[in-house]
A and B are shown apart, each in its own frame.
Chain A
Amino acid sequence: MTPELPLSVLGLFGEAFEFIFNEQEAQTGTVMVGGPEQVLELAWEQLKITAYALALSLVVALPVGVWLGHLGKGEMAAVSIGNAGRAVPELALIAFMAAVIGVGVVPLTIALAVLGIPPILTNSFVAVRQVDRGAVDAARGMGMSEGDVIRRVELPLAVPLIMGGVRTATINIVATATIAPLAGVLTLGDFILSRNVYGDEGVLAGAICIALLALALELALAGLQRLMTSPGLRLQRA
């Protein structure tokens, strides 16, 4: 059916890049679509909603995970939520939000935060839990308050694992923000959802842009992690 498959695939990639860099007429006619302006606008929206959802996830999950890890309680809950969270059907969640709250930035942020909370909760719990008991005992022996123990001993040592959770959460959220146009927020996912309008080249362009966005976020967070990890720990892990 497609004897020139390798070449036609290249053709589609070429068309996709064409779509990203040059405005063109929509498949449905009349209006112009694509081009750097639309791409950047949608990418920016995707970045914004990811940031909001990540912030909400951090605010909810980080304190809880750290505190439970410090106390050593609730391991079952923390880990189970982490596992169960992966199975959440986002589209159903969005429909649920739409019926209860509505559509738009706020309900979407909540729906996406549901995806971000499990990895952050589980990772911050495990991160604090796995801190060397010797260090913690020494700190208490020195007369540090519980708050100090957390802030000055446990958290710095937990940074790598916590950041791992944050990075996982971010990728989950940014990837799922692709379906945001179904809930009132236009992101790069529009190119993929409205294949009728943007054509196959638009769909591929959308996929490429989202992948690049996710990669960029991952690199940025990896850099941040490196900055936040104390030198002693960095040397140890190297």
Chain B
Amino acid sequence: MSTDRSRWRALLVLLAALVLSVGVIACGDDDDDETGAADTAAEAGGQIQSNPENGDVTITVGSKNFTEQIVLGEIYAQALEAAGYRVNKKLNLGSELIALKALNQGEITGYPEYVSTALTSFFDVPPEQVPGDPQRGADQAKADFEKQGLTSFAPTPFASANAVGTLKSTADELGLTKVSDLEGESQNLTLFGSPECRQRVDCLVGLEGPYGLEFKKFTPVDIELRYTVLDKGQADLSILFTTDAQLAAEADKYVILEDDKGVFPAGNVVFVTDQATVNEAGPDYQETIELVQEGLTEEVMQELDARVDIDRQTPAETATQYLQEEGYIE
């Protein structure tokens, strides 16, 4: 008798656990549903209006594999959703060649790319020849994309670049303000960066080539650890991004060295997509994207990056906050 009852109890617990776990998985689901609202037509300045005509167009928004990219992806995805499109997300894909491949193979409809990365990595432009003017750079990238059946939209206000960063104490001690100052010093200094930095022209290859620097040691680490290794004192120098949250939040602690030889070109972000979808999706596609990025100044982007990297919010909620705070969605 008692074994029967305990067996039933065990079964009940197992069933409950199963139901609970299914519930957890379902709640964690990332894929988006469409907005239902059948509102009036096009956008009016600030707030995005949902256009029912967009309902039969599906857009898959992609992104590369670091915080800023994922936040941008979320912003664009949520904005397009608000405009009435069916939106899927495939964020955190990988580096730029992987994202471009996904785009070319139709796995994603579009993703945000840095003009500098597009020109140097896709179109073989030497880093020193990347235009300094954001609009010229964006135009050049767009022209190159269009030769491949793709296109890109207007650039964001902010630009981001790789940078050689260090602790302020180190910079003061060695008198470092620009990367060239490392000449004669670098052989005693350790540099930390992502594993692929070793083979990139806008990273170690550029530092060893045009700058002619030799480092005591280059250690590969996960991008996420780029500040941790400086804090721990293991890294004398670390590869950072100019829009990093930590640079604004702890401006007295970290400095980036000026890229005087232009090896790390700054890139504004443009949304890259395929020409076919642009034709099919109607004007709201480009307009929505260009609208919501208007608020993305360097300070704002740093703040958003900070909310994810330092405050540990999710990129999704950060994006929603941004869209609401700027009045693009309710």
Residues of A within 8 A of B (CB): 1, 26-31, 33, 91, 94-95, 98-99, 101-104, 181-184, 186, 190, 193-197
Does the CB pair A98–B196 fall under 8 Å?
A: no
Does the CB pair A98–B195 fall under 8 Å?
A: no
8 further A-B contacts with Cβ under 8 Å, apart from A28-B200, A190-B195, are A1-B105, A29-B201, A30-B205, A31-B205, A98-B221, A184-B221, A194-B95, A197-B196
Report how far A94 CA is from B105 CA in the complex, Å.
34
Does the CB pair B98–A182 fall under 8 Å?
A: no
Q: Which of B106, B192, B201, B225 has the most CB of A within 10 A?
A: B225
**Shortest Cβ distance from A8 into chain B, in angstroms?**
12
* Contact with B222, one of A30, A33, A182 (Cβ below 8 angstroms): A182
A196 in contact with B221 given A28-B200, A98-B228, A98-B232 (CB within 8 Å)? no
Give the residue name and chain of the B residue nearest to A200 (CB): B101
A196 in contact with B220 given A28-B200, A33-B199, A102-B232 (CB within 8 Å)? no
Does the CB pair B222–A102 fall under 8 Å?
A: no
Q: Which residues of A contact B228 (CB under 8 A)?
A: 95, 98-99
Does the CB pair B95–A196 fall under 8 Å?
A: yes
Q: Top 8 nearest A-B pairs by Cβ distance?
A: A196-B95, A182-B222, A194-B196, A181-B195, A197-B199, A184-B219, A102-B234, A102-B232
Does the CB pair B199–A31 fall under 8 Å?
A: yes
**Shortest Cβ distance from A121 into chain B, in angstroms?**
27
Please tell me if B236 contacts chain A, counting CB pairs below 8 Å: no
Please tell me if B229 contacts chain A, counting CB pairs below 8 Å: yes
* Contact with A196, one of B96, B105, B106, B124 (Cβ below 8 angstroms): B96
Does the CB pair B222–A196 fall under 8 Å?
A: no
* Contact with B220, one of A30, A98, A99, A186 (Cβ below 8 angstroms): A186
Does the CB pair A103–B195 fall under 8 Å?
A: no
Does the CB pair A195–B201 fall under 8 Å?
A: no
Q: Which residues of B contact A194 (CB under 8 A)?
A: 95, 195-196, 199
Does the CB pair A29–B229 fall under 8 Å?
A: no
A-contact bits for B193-207, CB 8 A (1 contact / 0 none): 001101111000100
Does the CB pair B205–A103 fall under 8 Å?
A: no
Q: Which of A28, A30, A195 has the most CB of B within 10 A?
A: A28
Give the residue name and chain of the A residue nearest to B101 (CB): A200
A103 in contact with B221 given A28-B199, A29-B124 (CB within 8 Å)? yes
**Shortest Cβ distance from B28 into chain A, in angstroms?**
16
Does the CB pair A195–B220 fall under 8 Å?
A: no
A102 in contact with B229 given A28-B196, A29-B201 (CB within 8 Å)? yes
Report how far A30 CA is from B199 CA in the complex, Å.
8
Please tell me if B224 contacts chain A, counting CB pairs below 8 Å: yes
Q: Which residues of A contact B224 (CB under 8 A)?
A: 95
* Contact with B232, one of A99, A196, A197 (Cβ below 8 angstroms): A99
Q: Which residues of B contact A28 (CB under 8 A)?
A: 97, 121, 196, 199-201
Report how far A98 CA is from B223 CA in the complex, Å.
12
Q: Which residues of A contact B106 (CB under 8 A)?
A: 1
**Shortest Cβ distance from A119 into chain B, in angstroms?**
26
Please tell me if B94 contacts chain A, counting CB pairs below 8 Å: yes
Report how far A68 CA is from B176 CA in the complex, Å.
58
Q: Which residues of A contact B96 (CB under 8 A)?
A: 196
Does the CB pair A104–B234 fall under 8 Å?
A: yes
Which B4-35 residues sit within 8 Å CB-CB of chain A? Answer: none
**Shortest Cβ distance from A176 into chain B, in angstroms?**
14
Give the residue name and chain of the B residue nearest to A186 (CB): B220
Does the CB pair A195–B219 fall under 8 Å?
A: no
Q: Which residues of B contact A104 (CB under 8 A)?
A: 219, 234
Does the CB pair A196–B205 fall under 8 Å?
A: no
Report how far A95 CA is from B224 CA in the complex, Å.
8
Report how far A197 CA is from B197 CA in the complex, Å.
9
A-contact bits for B87-109, CB 8 A (1 contact / 0 none): 00000001111100000011000
Which B116-162 residues sit within 8 Å CB-CB of chain A? Answer: 121, 124
**Shortest Cβ distance from A202 into chain B, in angstroms?**
11
**Shortest Cβ distance from B315 into chain A, in angstroms?**
18
A196 in contact with B229 given A28-B201, A184-B219 (CB within 8 Å)? no
**Shortest Cβ distance from A103 into chain B, in angstroms?**
5
Does the CB pair B234–A195 fall under 8 Å?
A: no
Q: Which residues of A contact B195 (CB under 8 A)?
A: 181-182, 186, 190, 193-194
Report how far A182 CA is from B121 CA in the complex, Å.
23
Report how far A26 CA is from B196 CA in the complex, Å.
10
Which B224-240 residues sit within 8 Å CB-CB of chain A? Answer: 224-225, 228-229, 232, 234
Q: Which residues of A contact B221 (CB under 8 A)?
A: 98, 103, 182-184
**Shortest Cβ distance from A7 into chain B, in angstroms?**
17
Report how far A94 CA is from B95 CA in the complex, Å.
22
**Shortest Cβ distance from A73 into chain B, in angstroms?**
28
Q: List 18 A-B contacts (CB under 8 A).
A: A28-B97, A28-B196, A94-B222, A98-B225, A98-B228, A99-B228, A102-B229, A103-B221, A103-B234, A104-B219, A182-B220, A182-B225, A186-B220, A190-B195, A193-B196, A194-B199, A195-B98, A197-B198
